[in-house]
């Protein structure tokens, strides 16, 4: 188990909501310097840039490599900003150390591989550089937690999570589906671990980045990790999601930061919360009754040799509920998801019931 007392927001005071910003990839000395200067003038203290890029398909720009570390060293010297780069293996770690990089991050594709994370963790033994860990590309919380455990095992004490969204075959709006319930569960399992949101990779399109950044703050993100490029349309990677420094300024100027609740806020909300709790208890009671009926139906199907799943019935009830939900002003996708969950549980109960006969 991780000793959570050791975890601290990068060991640095970046203000109320630290924002780490910079281009997806370091492309040239001029590009990184121009970007860093623009961000520094906006008060940004940590500059991100990918030096080695893990690309899904071969043949795309794979980063400028070690030479870019010199450009980033120059940025550091010129601007005084801290520099963050992605590392995926022992060679990257060694080069980053030689270049005096301040913060490392483990990318989403690397977090999915316990061998790779262990290799990075082993290479970090004896150092105490801050390490940010992006969520694995697939929605598996234990892989994410496993990475923190491996780093903790190597003696790393300054860690933070980066929530950048999850790969999903069905997601249509965002490049990577946010699945906000996963960082919520991460906070519950590792209380005290800062969780920073990367709205750029989540959105995949620059128009959606400010919306997701605000949503992240509404969900209590401890910081933001944002891709900014002086000329995104010419970027060698992730061109659609990078903001110009001007767009970044507009976004940060509009973000609403939340204050911590005062006792008077809690007192005001209390009656609403207690009403909600009553409703939630009634929902559970109704569900329990529903599953008693499910049991009776299951018995009948067993006795008369009928299949548990009756697809026509399923689609009929699904459209009735979606329609009803719409009339009541409820979100269609939410109703479908809710009903799918109930229906799946209903089938599970009937199948288990069959096994116990
Ligand atoms: C990145 O931050 O540029 C990057 C490669 O991110 P991810 O690992 O989240 O895809
Ligand atoms: Mn990127």
Over residues 129-142, the pLDDT tens digits come to 999 999 999 999 99
Q: Whose CA is nearest to atom 1 of ligand 1?
A: 24
Between 337 and 23, the more confident residue is 23
State how far the Cα of 46 lies from the Cα of 29, in Å rounded to an integer: 17
* Distance between Cα 29 and ligand 2 center (Å): 18
Domain ranges of the chain: 19-254, 263-356
Among protein residues, the one with the nearest Cα to ligand 1's atom 9 is 108
Binding site membership of 133 for ligand 1 (Cβ less than 6 Å): no
Q: How far is the CA of 275 from the centre of ligand 1 (A)?
A: 43
Question: Among candidates 190, 179, 176, 178, which has minimal Cα distance to 147?
Answer: 190
Q: Is the shortest distance between the CB of 134 and ligand 1 below 6 Å?
A: yes
Average pLDDT over residues 301-308: 90
Please report the atom of ligand 1 found closest to the CA of residue 238: 3
How many Å lie between the centroid of ligand 2 and the Cα of residue 238?
Answer: 5
CA distances 148 to 61, 117, 122, 212, Å, are: 29, 9, 13, 25
Say if residue 7's pLDDT is above 60. Answer: no
Ligand 1 nearest-atom number relative to CA 108: 8
- Please report the pLDDT score of residue 56 as a whole number: 84
pLDDT of residue 355: 64
- CB-based contact 131:151 (threshold 8 Å): yes
Pair type for strands 159-163 and 131-134: parallel
Q: Which ligand is nearest to the CA of 105?
A: 1
19-25: average pLDDT: 97
- C-alpha 8 to ligand 2 mean position (Å): 25
pLDDT in tens, 58-80: 989 999 999 999 999 999 999 99
Does 1.20.59.10 match the CATH number of domain 263-356?
Answer: yes
Q: Residue 290 region, left (φ>0) first, then alpha (ψ -120 to 50), else beta?
A: alpha
Mutate to test the pocket of ligand 1, among 32, 55, 107 (most ligand atoms within 8 A of CB): 107
Please tell me the distance between residue 123's alpha carbon and the centre of ligand 2 in angstroms.
24
Residue entry with tokens 């529903």:
290
pLDDT band at 14 (very low <50, low <70, confident <90, very high): very low
The predicted pLDDT at position 357 comes to 53
Best mutation site among 54, 143, 199 for ligand 1 pocket (most ligand atoms within 8 Å of CB): 54
Q: What percent of the chain has pLDDT over 90?
A: 81
**In this predicted model, what pLDDT tens digit does every residue of 101-152 receive, in sequence order?**
999 999 999 999 999 999 999 999 999 899 999 999 999 999 999 999 999 9
Pocket lining: 164 vs ligand 1, CB cutoff 6 Å: yes
Mean pLDDT rounded to a whole number for the chain:
92
Exposed / middle / buried, residue 219 (Cβ in 10 Å: 0-12, 13-18, 19+): middle
How confident is the model over 7-27, as a mean pLDDT?
Answer: 73
Q: H/E/C letters for each residue in 105-121?
A: EECHHHHCCHHHHHHHH
**How confident is the model over 219-260, as pLDDT tens digits?**
999 999 999 999 999 999 999 999 999 999 999 999 998 888
- So what's the pLDDT on residue 25? 98
Mean pLDDT of 331-340: 91
Fold of 19-254: TIM Barrel (3.20.20)
CB 229 near ligand 1, within 6 Å: no
Phi, psi of 100, rounded to the nearest 5 degrees: 70, 30
Q: How far is the centre of ligand 1, averaged over its atoms, from the C-alpha of 84 (Å)?
A: 12
Residue 53 in tokens: 């890029």
Question: Could you tell me which residue, 207 or 308, shows the higher pLDDT?
Answer: 207
The verdict on the CB of residue 24 being under 6 Å from ligand 1 is yes
**pLDDT grade, residue 356 (50/70/90)?**
low
More confident residue, 17 or 54: 54
């Amino acid at each position: 188990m991780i000793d959570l007392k050791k975890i601290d927001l990068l060991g640095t005071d970046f203000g109320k909501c630290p924002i780490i910003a910079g281009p997806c990839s370091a492309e040239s000395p001029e590009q990184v310097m121009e970007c860093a200067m623009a961000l520094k003038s906006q008060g940004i203290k940590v500059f991100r840039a990918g030096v080695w890029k893990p690309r899904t398909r071969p043949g795309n720009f794979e980063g400028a490599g070690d030479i870019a570390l010199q450009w980033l060293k120059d940025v550091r010297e010129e601007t005084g900003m801290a520099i963050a780069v992605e590392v995926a293996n022992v060679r990257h770690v060694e080069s980053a150390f030689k270049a005096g990089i301040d913060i490392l991050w483990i990318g989403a594709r690397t977090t999915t591989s316990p061998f790779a994370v262990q290799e990075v963790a082993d290479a970090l033994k004896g150092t105490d550089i801050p390490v940010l860990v992006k969520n694995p590309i697939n929605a598996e919380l234990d892989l994410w937690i496993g990475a923190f455990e491996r780093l903790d095992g190597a003696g790393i004490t300054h860690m933070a999570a980066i929530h950048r969204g999850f790969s999903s075959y069905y997601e249509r709006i965002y490049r990577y589906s946010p699945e906000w319930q996963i960082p919520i569960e991460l906070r519950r399992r590792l209380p005290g671990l800062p969780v920073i949101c990367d709205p750029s990779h989540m959105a995949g399109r620059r128009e959606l980045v400010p919306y997701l950044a605000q949503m992240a703050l509404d969900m209590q993100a401890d910081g933001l990790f944002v891709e900014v490029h002086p000329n995104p349309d010419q970027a060698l990677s992730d061109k659609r999601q990078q903001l110009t420094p001007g767009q970044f300024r507009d976004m940060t100027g509009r973000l609403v930061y939340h204050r911590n609740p005062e006792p008077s806020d809690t007192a005001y909300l209390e009656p609403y919360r207690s009403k909600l709790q009553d409703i939630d208890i009634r929902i559970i009671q109704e569900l329990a009754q529903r599953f008693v009926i499910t049991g009776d139906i299951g018995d009948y199907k067993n006795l008369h040799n009928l299949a548990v799943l009756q697809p026509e019935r399923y689609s009929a009830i699904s459209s009735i509920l979606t329609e009803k939900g719409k009339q009541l002003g409820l979100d269609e996708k939410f109703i479908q998801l809710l009903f799918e969950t109930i229906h799946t549980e209903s089938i599970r109960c009937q199948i288990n019931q069959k096994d116990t006969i």
